[in-house]
Amino acid sequence: MKPLIAVSCHELDAPELARGMEALQGDRGATFMLLWELYAGIFDGVARAGGVPVSLSCTHGTEDALLAADRFDGFLLSGGADLDPARYGQAMGGSRNISPRRDAFEAALLEAALKRRKPVFAICRGLQLVNAVLGGTLIQDLASVGGPAAVHPICDFPSDKRVHRVDLEPGSLAASLLGPSFEANSLHHQGADRIGRGLRVTGRAPDGVVEALESTGSSFLLGVQWHPESLAAEDPAQQGLFDAFVRACS
């Protein structure tokens, strides 16, 4: 039987949907279309790996997150807007477009999944959520602390454009799938700072920005800061991340 994979999704209410459709030629419209492209890539990557992807919305509420943790075989935490910095003990300082409701839903989902030792694959915002839920902190804006914002852009088209190298730790899960290094795309302006409990850094960009996190234990928990869903259709190594995740869910 194919494993059921829960995919967390961006919080999108009717007014925001209308604004996005009205602004398809502007910056907001570009971001709106990028989200659709990324989610399509996630669903395709999971399906190619042999899983059945199912979208979960934060409108379900935290109680439904606990039910989902029991019913699904694995959890993919997708990209999207910034986390509320209050979740990791900071005031607003460069974060934008926060969604506390999505944060609460995904935090409950992650905690329940980890408690049940269910596999978790976290992409971009997902990596940041994992780090924050496990007690870590984030750099709210790489540019504001002298970071290389041009190397780690928040939005760039095409989304499969490769802009910097990622170096992976020997012996890590990521390195076993991707080799010692590769060229990555980049669609973020934040990054992991203090690392959460039970996590280890297994990938960095040449400037030191964290690009991969893994569990220090035996459970499948992999977070990546780049967007493999935009690369996987043409890159078997990036598809291998989805393949390994779905295998762990089987």
Catalytic residue numbers read 124, 227, 229
Place of tokens 């209410």: 13
What's at 156, amino acid-wise? D
Dig out the tokens for 7 from the structure: 């995919």
What's at 189, amino acid-wise? H
Nearest partner of 79 among 20, 136, 165, 9, judged by Cα = 9
Place of tokens 């969604």: 99
* Residue 104 main-chain phi, psi, to 5 deg: -65, -45
As a whole number of angstroms, the distance between CA 236 and CA 146 comes to 35
Q: Find the DSSP H helices in the chain.
A: 14-22, 27-48, 62-71, 100-115, 125-133, 173-178, 236-249
As a whole number of angstroms, the distance between CA 68 and CA 56 comes to 9
CB 123, CB 78: distance < 8 Å: yes
As a whole number of angstroms, the distance between CA 168 and CA 178 comes to 8
As a whole number of angstroms, the distance between CA 16 and CA 101 comes to 15
CB 107, CB 129: distance < 8 Å: yes
